[in-house]
Amino acid sequence: MEEKTLQRRDYLADLSGRKLDSFLERAAPYIGFIMIEFNSLEAIIDFCIKEILSHSEFGDDMIFVFLAEMSYSSKVTCLMNLYGQINKGCDLGLKDKLVDLEKQLREVARRRNQYAHGHWSDVAEGNFLPVKVTAKRDGVYHVYRKFHVKDMRADLRLIQKTQVLLDKFDELFNDKLHRRA
């Protein structure tokens, strides 16, 4: 994944109309599937939190009241803290797996945000897309990421793999918690 950081006043030349349309036609399916799969991952996180905190339909509803108001990042923090508290209190021995899971959950969010918040109408020559603006003491900077179909495919696969990783971790966690493993 290639990135460039440029001062706001220094920018890359935009793609022409035809080149932009061609690029967007190739990218759009990946963007859509990345959003769909990321939302599915977030639903799995919601489910895992609900399963830890509630054991009744009424309790489930109360949990979803809070989850509906939380960002993805807050949900990840909540889930990691819940897993961590139980892991430590019950001595399940899953600390390293939990650390790895959190890193991956945060990485997929970072990548998804580049798709969700990228300025797709401003794709520059070489398929560089402005994905983030940062302000520093010495100026305002745009971060550009180069998008290739193979990179988009890899980002999609990473989100899907993270869903599987979370499912497997949750199953292992519950097995150890209930002494099935």
Number of domains in the chain: 1
Averages of pLDDT over runs of 10 residues in the chain (181 residues) are: 82 83 94 98 98 94 96 98 93 94 98 92 89 91 91 97 98 89 49
Domain that includes residue 149, residue range: 3-177
Phi, psi dihedrals of residue 138, rounded to the nearest 5°: -100, 10
At residue 58, the pLDDT reads 93
pTM of structure: 0.89
Alpha helix (H) residue ranges in the chain: 17-53, 57-67, 72-90, 95-116, 149-177
At residue 145, the pLDDT reads 92
Helix, strand or coil, per DSSP, at residue 119: coil
- Cα distances from 175 to residues 54, 94, 146, in angstroms, run 18, 12, 42
C-beta atoms surrounding 71 within 10 Å: 10
Helix, strand or coil, per DSSP, at residue 70: coil
